[in-house]
Structure 1
Amino acid sequence: MQIKGQAVRLIMPGRLEEMGKWSHGTMATNKEQTSGGMMPGKDRPGKDRPGPDLSRSLRYVVIYLCLAVAMLLSGLQHFVLTLPSASGKQLQYTDGIVVMTGGQQRLDDGLQLLTDGIAGKMLISGVGDGVSRAVLVQQLDLDEREINALFCCVELDFVAKDTRGNARVARRWAIDNNMRSLRLVTANYHMPRALLVFANEMPEFNLYQYPVYPDDLRIDGWWHDRAMLRLLIREYAKYLAETVRI
């Protein structure tokens, strides 16, 4: 068909329909590429960025960790605030005294209890190699009564290396001497764990405590003293480990 000297190509209805489909498909493909992050400078979502489920899981992990730390700190504070304190009550007589080594003051207090008639026999558990009664007399400022008590009524244990070892040796010693009750002498910060271990190793015995207060142990303001803080954290961790073990 010719119109004013120009050739015009006639397009049949079927051809128009095919061209429409091709044009629509091309536009859709371009749109998908654009929205899919194919354009320069655009990141494809879901590939490099964490999805909502992952972000939610990370938040839960952080929350649980914060709660766990808060519980541990609260438990540590409770542990320190509830350490056994000196009692003004008259001490009950026990068959034996068990002193766990770790400081001279424990030995002094144990011998004082023995000479005061609080018990008939005493075991010093965890003594180092080379230590003897004569060496203790030289190292400790003992009076005549305490020296006599040391040689007549005190037994030294060289086997125990830890608190559980102290308890096992003490149990055998108590059974061999037909004892039913024992008084434990150790530092106040060590006493909760010692009672826990001894009660587990010898449940048939009556146990009593006599906490010792080392001169260098300052509970007031313990969180300001690094050495004291490390000591209490370490002891609290050991106490928790024993509760899980038992």
Structure 2
Amino acid sequence: MIARAFSLLLLIYAIGFMAFAFTLGKPAKADARTTDAVVVLTGGSGRLEHAVDVLRDGKAERLLVAGADPSVTKADIARRLGSRARNVRSAIDLGSESVDTRSNAEEAARWLQKNRYDSLRLITSDWHMRRARYEFRRVLGQDFDMITDAVRSEPSFLTLFGEYNKFVLRRVAVWADI
């Protein structure tokens, strides 16, 4: 009986992982509405560049780089982005209070409230979007209109497996009120 129950849980886990792997976050549609702000989560290639492009294209008025290393400056960002950052550098804020996805959401919430914004575009990698969206919805509730805008990547099996486990464990922790 225990072996059957364990086998059923393992099967549910495996099916969940397959669904997770085949339904990664998607980029926002080209005609997605303009938002007050863009929040980009650091840690993956192409995220910051895409966020600055969104800002430069006028799809938001301000950008928060959540989870930036405290030693990083706007000048560092400008050097990294080169001509991409021209004309938008003054609209970029660096947030260095957060260390993980949950604290990214908390940091972004304080920044959004301080600036009296009502809407945001959340940018992160496609494999990270599901957990990021979950954490942001938990912190922001329905008080903010949110568009998700995933940066496409080619995640490895280990990246997907690790992210799926983090997502499942976080959901269990919230459910268990841990």
TM-score, length of structure 2 as denominator length? 0.91
Say if 2:41 is the partner of 1:103: no
Give the alignment's Cα RMSD to 1 decimal: 1.4
The answer to whether the 8 A contact 2:112-2:118 is kept is yes
Q: Which residue of 2 aligns with 1:188?
A: 126
Residue 73 of structure 1 is matched in structure 2 by 14
Q: Point out 4+ residue stretches in structure 1 off by more than 6 angstroms.
A: none
Amino acid paired to 1:245: A
Per the alignment, residue 62 of structure 2 pairs with 121
- Stretches of structure 2 that go unaligned for 5 or more consecutive residues are none
Pair 178,154 (structure 1): closer, same or farther in 2 beyond 3 Å: same
CA distance in 1, matches of 2:29, 2:149: 12
Counterpart residue type for residue 73 of structure 1 = A
Separation in 2, partners of 1:106, 1:192:
15
Find out whether 1:157 has 2:95 as its counterpart: yes
**Residue 145 (structure 2) pairs with residue 206 (structure 1):** yes
Map Cα deviations across residues 139-189 of structure 1 (whole Å, 9 max, x no partner). 22434xx22202x11100111000111101100100111111111000011
Deviation at 1:87, TM superposition (A): 4.9
Quick one: distance in 2 between partners of 1:174 and 1:68?
40
What code does the residue aligned with 1:70 have?
L
In the alignment, what sits opposite 1:57? none
CA contact (8 A) 2:131 2:167 kept: yes
Larger radius of gyration: 1
Q: Is the 8 A contact 1:104 1:140 kept in 2?
A: no
Give yes or no for contact 1:197–1:242 (8 Å, CA) kept in 2. no
Q: Size of the alignment, in residue pairs?
A: 173
2: CA distance, partners of 1:103 / 1:188: 10
- Partner letter of residue 240 of structure 1? V
Q: 1:240 aligns with which of 150, 164, 168?
A: 168
Question: Which residues of structure 1 form unaligned runs of 5+?
Answer: 1-59, 219-227
Change (3 A) 1:213 1:94: same
Identity %: 29
Give 1:110's aligned amino acid.
Answer: A
Whole-Å separation in 1 of the counterparts to 2:19 and 2:60: 32
Q: Are residue 85 (structure 1) and residue 26 (structure 2) matched? A: yes
Contact 1:106/1:185, CA 8 A, preserved across alignment:
yes
Question: Partner amino acid for 1:74?
Answer: I
What's the counterpart of residue 147 of structure 1? Answer: 86
Per-residue deviation, residues 189-213 of structure 1 (Å, max 9, x unmatched): 1000011000010111111101001
User: Which residue identity is paired with 1:147?
Assistant: R
- CA offsets per residue over residues 101-144 of structure 1, 9 Å max, x none? 0134101000000010100111001111321111122222434x
Alignment of 1:3-18 (within 5 A): none
Q: CA contact under 8 A between 2:123 and 2:151: conserved in structure 1?
A: yes
Q: Which has the higher contact order (CA 8 A, sep 6+)?
A: 2
Q: CA offset at residue 84 of structure 1? A: 2.1
The 5-angstrom pairing of residues 45-64 of structure 1 reads: 60-64=1-5
Q: 1: CA distance between counterparts of 2:86 and 2:11?
A: 50
Higher mean C-alpha deviation, range 134-143 or range 161-170: 134-143
Match of 1:231 among 151, 159, 162: 159
